[in-house]
Each structure stands twice: as structure tokens, then as C-alpha cells.
């Protein structure tokens, strides 16, 4: 578990929003856009080519072991092709790795909010305890993202600005802290289902009711 860091997630694709609910537990994450047919074909073709070369290198090792050349080579020299073969296998695995989906989990059974992956959840997990009474504050904000790209001749950096809303909750020994940034210009349209589910699980009023200003706590 990562210590000293507040669980936080940035959601910017409301159409990919996924909710999972259990008694007194709500998990929210954003599904990745599925790869296109062209991307899949490229990945499959690349994987087959890479593995084909790796298999060829292994067969070369086996062939040299049974040939007269084996006696002429220094000891273990015929095993050298296994080094690039191993590297190619690792490359094929990396080519097929998918990004891990991370969920932000509001757990009112344990009184915690945590960020963890669906698989290998013990890696990079962050957790913090709620303070009571639990409440939600919504605050308009603009966040920046730094981008960079490199090519053969130059390196470029630029900054983009993204408007949305911080979702702040009270955490023990930390006070109100943002655990979500929702990139949107219409909270009710894009994230109304999420806030309704959070209100049910937490046993509080829906933060998006008309009487509640976005910049105040639902508990007043």
C-alpha cells in the first residue's frame, strides 16, 4: 500500500463510466476504449512475427548442438542466440499487455476510500479513512495536464487545460481532500448516476439536488 498519498482518480469519459455496487460499497472506474480492428491486426501480426523469429533462434541452437560446428565453437557459445530470443519473447508479452483498470472504492463497511486495480490489487494500492460524518463537496476547478512527444529531431512539451469538478470528502487527519476530478461541463447529465449511487450507499442526500450549491457540503 502506498502511504502518504490520497486515493485519487481523474475521469474524463462519462460514456465509459462503470459502477459496481455492493451493500455499503461503491466502486467506480472508467473502461478503456476497445482497440480498433486495425490495431488488433497490427498487434497480432507483430506478435506472430516476433515469436516466429524467437522460435527460429531456438531451433538454431538445437541444430548447432547436434552438428559438427558444436565442437568448433567455444563452450556455451551456441547458446548466445537464446539471449535475443528471450528478449523477443518479453517484447511479445509487452505488446499484448493491457493497462490495468483502477477502481476508486467507497467502502462504508470499513470507512475507507481506496484506489486499487481490478487485478494485482496489492500493487500501488492507496487507501485513506473517512472522518465522520461523511459528506461530499463539489467544487468547480480547472486542471492542467503536461504532455510531451519526442521524435528523431526534436522534443515537444505542451500544456492542456481541462474544466470540471473536484469531488472532496473529509478524511481523517487530512480534512477535505479531492478524491475525484470529473471532467465535464454538466455533472447531472454525465455523472448523475454516480452521485445517486454514492448517496444511496453512503446514506446521504444526493449532492446534485437543485437546492445544494456545487461549492457547499451536502451536510450544510
pTM for the predicted model, two decimal places: 0.67
With beta carbons less than 8 A apart as the criterion, state whether 119 and 103 touch: no
With beta carbons less than 8 A apart as the criterion, state whether 128 and 6 touch: yes
Instruction: Read off the pLDDT of residues 103-116 as tens digits, 9 standing for 90 and up.
Output: 999 999 999 999 98
Instruction: Read off the pLDDT of residues 25-59 as tens digits, 9 standing for 90 and up.
Output: 999 998 876 666 777 788 788 888 888 888 888 77
Contacts of 73 (CB under 8 A, 6+ apart): 64
Amino acid at each position: 500500500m502506498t502511504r502518504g498519498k490520497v486515493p485519487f482518480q481523474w475521469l474524463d469519459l462519462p460514456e465509459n463510466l462503470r459502477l459496481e455496487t455492493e451493500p455499503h460499497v461503491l466502486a467506480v472506474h472508467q473502461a478503456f476504449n476497445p482497440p480498433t480492428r486495425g490495431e488488433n491486426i497490427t498487434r497480432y501480426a507483430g506478435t506472430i512475427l516476433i515469436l516466429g523469429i524467437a522460435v527460429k533462434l531456438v531451433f538454431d541452437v538445437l541444430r548447432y548442438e547436434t552438428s559438427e560446428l558444436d565442437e568448433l565453437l567455444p563452450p556455451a557459445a551456441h547458446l548466445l542466440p537464446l539471449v535475443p530470443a528471450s528478449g523477443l519473447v518479453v517484447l511479445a508479452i509487452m505488446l499484448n499487455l493491457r493497462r490495468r483498470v483502477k477502481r476508486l472504492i467507497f467502502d462504508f463497511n470499513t470507512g475507507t476510500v481506496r484506489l486499487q486495480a481490478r487485478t494485482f490489487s496489492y500493487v500501488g494500492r492507496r487507501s485513506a479513512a473517512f472522518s465522520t460524518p461523511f459528506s461530499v463537496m463539489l467544487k468547480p476547478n480547472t486542471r492542467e495536464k503536461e504532455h510531451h512527444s519526442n521524435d528523431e529531431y526534436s522534443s515537444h512539451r505542451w500544456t492542456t487545460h481541462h474544466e470540471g469538478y473536484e469531488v472532496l470528502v473529509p478524511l481523517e487527519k487530512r480534512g477535505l481532500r479531492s478524491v475525484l476530478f470529473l471532467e465535464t461541463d454538466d455533472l447531472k447529465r454525465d455523472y448523475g448516476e454516480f452521485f445517486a449511487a454514492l448517496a444511496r450507499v453512503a446514506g446521504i442526500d444526493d449532492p446534485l439536488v437543485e437546492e445544494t450549491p456545487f461549492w457547499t457540503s451536502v451536510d450544510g
